[in-house]
A and B are shown apart, each in its own frame.
Chain A
């Protein structure tokens, strides 16, 4: 029973274009959401967070959108760069402490 789903295992985008990574969740109690990037053989790196009191949070090239009614969030990266190629995980929590992670989406940014 996956509470956090990332239905696209992989995504390819041309350099300079927008990357949109999607995440859906089933638990309506989730109030806190994080996005992480992970390179092979490294730990995940925190990217950006959002809580349910907001519907958008922006940090540089990264923007996270939250649609609570649809239980859906997305990460937008614009413009995409080759160094963005990695696996992206979304994570959700109802307490802000114990997070449930999605299975990840592998992003490839093509030069």
Chain B
């Protein structure tokens, strides 16, 4: 019973390169969320996606960052032209569809630690 999978676990990029972070949600989950955690800080919401749709991207920086969740395959968080300030842990979470009322408990992956040198 696999949980939320993220890869790679660690990613090192030089300034100006692209970073691609992948997230496979739990089986049966159709909602995916991306969060960023800077050192010594809490998690900051970035984007919420359902299959082929971006539902809420209010936490995404306006430039260089994009996310997708295609019909087939994992969700991808893409950071173009990375800068040192992008160094952080990026967590993906998933939740099941169709719950009426109550909270959508989100189940987190182990995170991808991005280091920009």
Residues on A lying within 8 angstroms of B by beta carbon are 32-34, 36, 41-46, 49-51, 89, 91, 93, 96-104
Contact between A101 and B43, CB atoms less than 8 A apart: yes
Nearest Cβ distance between residue A62 and chain B, in whole angstroms? 14
Known: A43-B4, A98-B48. A34 touches B106 (CB 8 A): yes
Given A46-B107, A98-B58, 16 extra CB contacts under 8 A: A34-B105, A34-B106, A42-B111, A43-B108, A43-B111, A44-B91, A45-B108, A46-B105, A46-B108, A50-B103, A51-B101, A96-B99, A96-B102, A100-B45, A101-B35, A103-B41
Contact between B102 and A43, CB atoms less than 8 A apart: no
Known: A43-B91, A49-B102. A99 touches B45 (CB 8 A): yes
A43-B50 Cα distance, complex, nearest whole Å: 21
Report chain A residues within 8 Å CB of B109: 43
A42-B109 Cα distance, complex, nearest whole Å: 8
Contact between B106 and A42, CB atoms less than 8 A apart: no
Cβ of B31 within 8 Å of any chain A Cβ, yes or no, is yes
A43-B90 Cα distance, complex, nearest whole Å: 9
Contact between B43 and A44, CB atoms less than 8 A apart: yes
A96-B101 Cα distance, complex, nearest whole Å: 8
Known: A43-B108, A101-B43, A104-B42. A34 touches B56 (CB 8 A): no
Contact between A101 and B110, CB atoms less than 8 A apart: no
A32-B105 Cα distance, complex, nearest whole Å: 10
Report chain B residues within 8 Å CB of A42: 110-111
Query: 23 A-B residue contacts at CB 8 Å?
Result: A32-B104, A34-B106, A41-B111, A42-B110, A42-B111, A43-B110, A43-B111, A44-B91, A49-B102, A49-B103, A50-B103, A96-B104, A97-B48, A97-B55, A97-B56, A97-B95, A97-B104, A98-B45, A98-B48, A98-B56, A98-B58, A101-B44, A104-B42
